[in-house]
Amino acid sequence: MYRQMYDAANSFASNKKVTMKRFKNKVVFITGGSRGIGAGIARRMAAEGADVVITYVNAAGQAQQVTDDIKKAGQQALAIPVDNASPDAITAAIEKAMEVFGRIDILVNNAGIYIAKPLAEYTLQDIDSTMAVNVRAVFLASQKAAQYMQSGGRIITIGSNMAERVTFATGTLYAMSKSALIGLTKGLARDLGAQGITVNLVQPGPTDTDMNPANAPHADMLRSAMAIPHYGKPADIAEIVAYLASEESGFMTGAALTIDGGFSI
């Protein structure tokens, strides 16, 4: 009997997940949405009824595949080429999304870069590029999108568990940029709370993408540091983002949620 109840509950949860349209009539803007975690978030949000705008830098073919998948799911999609290192490009892309869709309800700051070097080898260009993409672009996109958001708006940033724990050398610059997002998230949450806009941070650990594949040379080292010794999937991160974008998370703001298989404990 208990097995039947368990199977029925799982079946209900699965069907509910497929049929829920929590984001019907909403528009989500995702930076870096052509591949990896960003693409997983884009597809998940579309599956729950959102129209989706993604940005990309070089992966035009992958961006096209993501928008095609979104349209097959019955939603509208737009891909905009954007270099997040350019202050004007990211704000222009948000304005373009407003022209096309007339609204932005959810912003997902996902785009980021990783430059790994021994400390002595970092250049000023490395520092400026990393901070421009990983921090400044997040600030500018949030500032611009918030101008158009109504009460109930959501800003969600994808950071990294390296903001909390750095277990190997050559990650100093990246960790610095991602730790800055904690303060940025808390400040934005204070600034926008009275408008009914929540701001939260998701800090993934090792996630199986083309930038950090589960079969990479360093993957076993990362798995050895985890309580759950396997890489996450983009869908795992998308699950948390979908929650933070939903009405159910309306009382959560300024939070940093780490999802890393216990890497940081």
Dihedral (CA of 154, 160, 162, 167) sign: positive
State residue 232's pLDDT score: 94
What one-letter code names the amino acid at 101?
F
> With bands split at pLDDT 50, 70 and 90, how would you rate the model's confidence at 20?
confident
Answer positive or negative: Cα dihedral of 230, 260, 19, 28: negative
Q: Do residues 42 and 52 lie in contact, with contact meaning Cβ atoms separated by under 8 Å?
A: yes
Burial letters for 234-245: b for 16+ Cβ neighbours within 10 Å, e otherwise?
Answer: bebbbbbbbbbb
Q: What is the pLDDT of residues 137-196, one digit of tens each?
A: 999 999 999 999 999 999 999 999 999 999 899 999 999 999 999 999 999 999 999 999
Closest Cα partner for 252 from 201, 203, 200? 200
| pLDDT at residue 90 tops 90 | yes
pLDDT for 3: 40
Structural domains in the chain?
A: 23-259 (3.40.50.720)
- 107, 142 in Cβ contact below 8 A? yes
- Given 56, 148, 174, 231, which residue is catalytic? 174
Residue owning tokens 């939603």:
75
pLDDT exceeds 80 at position 8: no
d(CA 117, CA 194): 42
> Crossing angle, helix 234-245 and helix 36-47, to 10 degrees?
50
Phi (first) and psi of residue 52, to 5 degrees = -130, 130
- pTM here is 0.92
pLDDT at 211: 83
**Residue 174 designated active-site:** yes
pLDDT at 96 over 90: yes
